[in-house]
Amino acid sequence: MTASGTGSSHTPQLPQKPFRLTHLYWYLTLLATAFLLALLQPVVWAQGSAQPGTEADPPGRVARLNLAEGAVSFAPAGNGEPTDAADWSPAVLNRPLTSGDKLWTGPQSRSELYVGSTAVRMNAQTSLDFLALDDNATQLRLAQGTLKLRVRTLFEGQRLEVDTPNLAFVVSQPGDYRLDVDPANNTTRVVAQSGSGVIYGDGARSVTLGSQQQANFTGTQLVPAGPGAAQQDSFDVWAANRDRLEDQSVSARYVPRETVGYQQLDTYGSWSQDPAYGAVWMPREVPAQWAPYRDGHWAWVSPWGWTWVDDAPWGFAPFHYGRWAQIGPRWAWVPGRLAPRPVYAPALVAFVGGSSGGVNWTISIGGAARPGVGWFPLAPGEAYRPAYRVSPRYITQVNHNIVVNNTVNVTNVYRYQRQPGAVTAVSRDDFTRGRPVRGQQHALSQADLGRAQVVADRSAIPQRPSREDMQGDRRERPRPSAVALPPPAAVARPVVSSRDDRRDERRDGQRGAPRQEEAIGQRALREQAQTDAQNRAAAAETRAAANRSAAEQAQRTQQQAQREQQHQQKDLARQQEQLRRQQGEESIGQRALREQAQTDAQNRAAAAEARAAANRSAAEQAQRTQQQAQREQQHQQRDLARQQEQLRRQQGEESIGQRALREQAQTERENARQQQAAQRQQQQQQRAQQESQRQPQIQRDQPRTDVQERQPGRQANATGRGPRGEGEPNRNREQ
């Protein structure tokens, strides 16, 4: 075929189709789609640069250190590099925790952190690593120490796993769990106070753990070890108190429990209803001229980039979820309608200034103009546009709680963009090094804000700092009073991982023959006995702890009194030696003074001895009380063991009382049948007797009636005038 040209006879002519309205509809649809795609472009730079080659959405979940008692240390993810002692620093409450981060609680220390609504509590000398943390998986590594988990919710597809040096434990149901790891003996004890889970070892070995059960294994082959402690200790009591406080939270009525960091809102603020925004939360005490995102520092946390870490103890949830609004003179946090699983954001702000096209936005610092970076909080209705690469689905989820105002994306005009009291600015160097931001450090004028434009170019904000800069930032940043204690270098690392193909296995059908069902009454008695025994054990433990504290206090008081008495005796000896050294005869006044000093010293010694005796008595009383509590606890344990043994004997067979009741019921039914038969026989006999009694009476009455009937006939026959009745014998003939 030759090339087509005008008037070519070889070019086939296609038939012309008439224009239809459906064509116009499709054209308009394409134009509208192109316009919406243009609106979805991230024209507002909100964070650091996107990670090249990163296609997957970042996790929508993070963990947060909620409480630190004592020395709690933190080491950030090393991006594959080994962690050394220099990487450990005192843990910060509001820094988000994610995959690769490590925590260590020193001696006599405890900590609490949350992953969504799941509470993770660490006892003293516990090492915990985050192997994986995303929307559907939470994988923790417990190298040594004690860990308690309170799992409120497990969404469909979510997986919670704890790996230890010799096994892996996967939670199957919401509940309360405890794990104790002893790396020296290569043992792990798992206790399911409620809920259930599966324990995995090497060689496809697995054990299902049900509610109120525990297992203790040594080695990776799940070899049973000793039974372990059966009583609750002070760590269990502490965790139970923390659970009680969480259950009483008021903020849980306004935000879902998956919102990380809501637990502190009750202590530091109050909730109210606003006609425009609905439920809002206001902090009670903030500095003058305070604004959101003003007291804290910026830290680079992968994969999100620049992340705001606030200094306030409540400063997590209000800076990573929801929006801020200025209601009158005060700022209020507006959570909006958060989803049941809200999506975490590193900082819900818009940036101004920076450097673009080689031109820096400068602010005056110490009389000199220096390149600066500023930011302000997003208001309700203003969409958050992340710079890290995400999908449209992620953008929809992270802005789920607001009504997006799309005009912001077109005009780049925000509510708080031109308000000096809402915009915070620091030098570019301070921003990059993550130096602390304290209040309105660099006040901005209207002229500064007029020159500051909302950042639309990702390169206008400093990029990710180097490892040396990040280490220098931690050295320059003021540290908390707690000391960073790295974990021991000899802490073993787990060698067992769970089997994904067994994650859906359930307890039913795996633990041998099913037990015979207990009677409802027996089950209720057993559960009640166990509950009572646990309550008594907890009360006894509390009393024992109080007695130990009282005994220790009495012992310390006694030791203090003894030290005071020794000091007084030394003072008296020195005074006596000084008096003996005096030359000549003592005057009457000197002798009186010496005798008075001796008397005072003796009185003080007697008082000290009396106090010491009282303290010894108190200590002995406390010790006796403690021993009595221990004896009571032992008695309770023996009672519980007897009750459990008795209940075990009752399983699979009827109790003596039930057999007696059943036999008694059968005997009563048999007696009732015999009695009814006897009554029927007696009634029949009575009827027969009555019938036999009536028969002679009838026979006696019958002749008399016949005589009466025959009298008139007899008389008539006698006179010859009466006829003889039919069938009646001829009485005259008989006569």
81 in a structural domain: yes
Is 347 in the same domain as 470? yes
130 pLDDT higher than 50: yes
194 pLDDT higher than 50: yes
- The residue among 650, 682, 716 that closes a domain is 650
Beta bridge partners of 349: 377
Structure-token pair, residue 553: 């206090």
Q: Residue 522: name the closest of 653, 718, 664 by CA.
A: 653
User: Which of 184-188, 423-427, 490-494, 621-625 has the weakest average pLDDT?
Assistant: 490-494
pLDDT band at 291 (very low <50, low <70, confident <90, very high): very high
683 in a structural domain: no
pLDDT at residue 32 in the model: 54
Alpha helix positions (H), 421-519: 428-432, 446-451, 467-476
44 in a structural domain: no
Q: Which helix (H) or strand (E) holds 64?
A: strand 63-69
Is residue 116 within 8 A of residue 237, CB to CB? The reply is no
- The residue among 198, 217, 247 that closes a domain is 247
Is 223 in the same domain as 258? no
44 pLDDT higher than 70: no
Place of tokens 């105002």: 405
572 in a structural domain: no
pLDDT at residue 68 in the model: 94
Considering only the C-alpha atoms of the chain, give the largest distance between any 2 of them, rounded to a whole number of Å. 184
What does the alpha-carbon distance between residue 500 and residue 170 come to, in Å, rounded to a whole number? 10
CATH number of the domain that residue 203 is part of: 2.60.120.1440
Structure-token pair, residue 85: 């002692």
Is residue 376 within 8 A of residue 353, CB to CB? The reply is no
Is 367 in the same domain as 452? yes
Is 284 in the same domain as 361? yes
SS3 at position 265? helix
Is residue 206 within 8 A of residue 198, CB to CB? The reply is yes
What does the alpha-carbon distance between residue 102 and residue 93 come to, in Å, rounded to a whole number? 14
Report pLDDT digits (tens) over 438-463. 865 666 777 777 777 787 666 677 77
Highest mean pLDDT among 67-81, 119-133, 636-650: 119-133
Q: Based on the structure, what is the number of domains in the chain?
A: 3
User: Which of 89-98, 433-442, 597-606 has the weakest average pLDDT?
Assistant: 433-442
Report pLDDT digits (tens) over 547-559. 676 667 777 777 7
116 in a structural domain: yes
pLDDT at residue 410 in the model: 53
725 pLDDT higher than 50: no
With a CB cutoff of 8 Å and minimum separation 6, the contacts of 356 are: 455, 456, 457, 459, 460
User: With the CA atoms of 517, 520, 524 and 530 taken in that order, what torsion angle do they form, in degrees rounded to the nearest 10?
Assistant: -10
36 pLDDT higher than 50: no
Is residue 137 within 8 A of residue 101, CB to CB? The reply is no
Domain extent for 86: 63-247
- Tell me the mean pLDDT in the region 352-360: 61
pLDDT band at 607 (very low <50, low <70, confident <90, very high): confident
Q: Residue 643: name the closest of 522, 731, 541, 510 by CA.
A: 522
- Tell me the mean pLDDT in the region 501-509: 39
The pLDDT mean for the chain works out to 76
8 in a structural domain: no
Q: What is the pTM of this model?
A: 0.61
353 pLDDT higher than 90: no
Structure-token pair, residue 524: 């209720």
Is 279 in the same domain as 178? no
Is 222 in the same domain as 263? no
Q: Is 322 left (phi over 0), alpha (psi -120 to 50) or beta?
A: left
593 in a structural domain: no
pLDDT at residue 710 in the model: 45
Is 163 in the same domain as 223? yes
673 in a structural domain: no
Structure-token pair, residue 64: 């947060």
Highest mean pLDDT among 316-325, 364-373, 601-610, 643-652: 316-325
Comparison of pLDDT for 482 and 646, the residue scoring more: 646
For residue 219, CA distances in Å to 183, 666, 706 come to: 10, 57, 117
With a CB cutoff of 8 Å and minimum separation 6, the contacts of 327 are: 274, 277, 280, 282
- The residue among 195, 229, 247 that closes a domain is 247
Is 542 in the same domain as 465? no
| DSSP 8-state code for residue 405 | -
Is 334 in the same domain as 455? yes
Is 331 in the same domain as 459? yes
Distance of CA 194 to the CA centre of its chain: 13
Is residue 550 within 8 A of residue 618, CB to CB? The reply is yes
Instruction: Please classify residue 212 by burial: count the beta carbons closer than 10 Å to its beta carbon, then call 0-12 exposed, 13-18 middle and 19+ buried.
Output: middle
User: Which of 168-182, 284-298, 568-582 has the weakest average pLDDT?
Assistant: 568-582
What does the alpha-carbon distance between residue 619 and residue 65 come to, in Å, rounded to a whole number? 40
Is 238 in the same domain as 262? no
Is 143 in the same domain as 219? yes
